[in-house]
Amino acid sequence: MDKEAEFVKMYEEHYKTVQRYVRTILGSSSFSEDVVQDTFLEAWRKFDIIREHPNQGGWLIRTACYKIRNIRKRFNRLETISLDDGVEPSREDYALETKELDVILEKTLNEEERLRFKRYYLWGYTIPEIARLEGISENNARVRISRVIHKLRKEILAVSFLSFAMSGMLENLCMLVKDFMMF
């Protein structure tokens, strides 16, 4: 049997299983079909390897899992969008934002993590300075700051979701999330 016929046979044999797996994770969104197609495209590119694989279905599921993970990583990177309209915030606005930040920091981070966050982002300490103060390597300081930011991102996303839901817009959000199922 030639390569193309073998691939078609494998595709027909495993397509529904891969599709079901991906839809279970992502829901029935446009991303689901993209992931399924990317998975089979990868299988075609590596068909010489997968052709002899003892568990082709397992290989396809594992590949789909990696594809889903990569999509989630892309969507978890938060981009900041400037909403600055040129208006200088008032002292009251700044005080309110500071209080909100303190509440989120208090709720999310332990004392050591809060101090690390404030040193780096509020007080302008450099990585080498933080490493020296904490008695750790610079790489370790970077990793710890990265972990703090990851925890804060998760909390801010959760708070944003809850406030959005509480404002009566949950149905609109569900319509948007249906296509992006990345929470």
**For the purposes of burial, counting CB atoms within 10 Å of the CB of 164, is it exposed (0-12), middle (13-18) or buried (19 or more)?**
middle
Q: Which of 27-41, 60-74, 161-175 shows the lowest mean pLDDT across its residues?
A: 161-175
Task: Give the pLDDT confidence of 100-118 residue by residue, as tens digits.
Answer: 667 777 888 899 988 888 8
> How many C-beta neighbours within 10 Å does residue 29 have?
17
**For the purposes of burial, counting CB atoms within 10 Å of the CB of 35, is it exposed (0-12), middle (13-18) or buried (19 or more)?**
buried
Q: CATH number for the 105-180 domain, one of 1.10.287, 1.10.760, 3.40.50, 1.10.10?
A: 1.10.10
What DSSP string runs through 92-104?
HHHHHHHHHHHHH
Q: Supply the pLDDT for residue 98.
A: 60
What's the average model confidence in pLDDT over 115-137? 86
| pLDDT grade for 23, boundaries at 50, 70 and 90 | confident
What DSSP string runs through 147-172?
HHHHHHHHHHHHHHHHHHIIIIIHHH
Per-chain mean pLDDT for the chain: 75
Task: Give the pLDDT confidence of 36-59 residue by residue, as tens digits.
Answer: 999 999 999 999 888 888 889 889
What's the average model confidence in pLDDT over 10-27? 88
Residue with more model confidence, 92 or 31: 31
Portions of the chain given CATH number 1.10.10: 105-180
What single letter denotes the amino acid at residue 129?
E
Q: Supply the pLDDT for residue 153.
A: 79
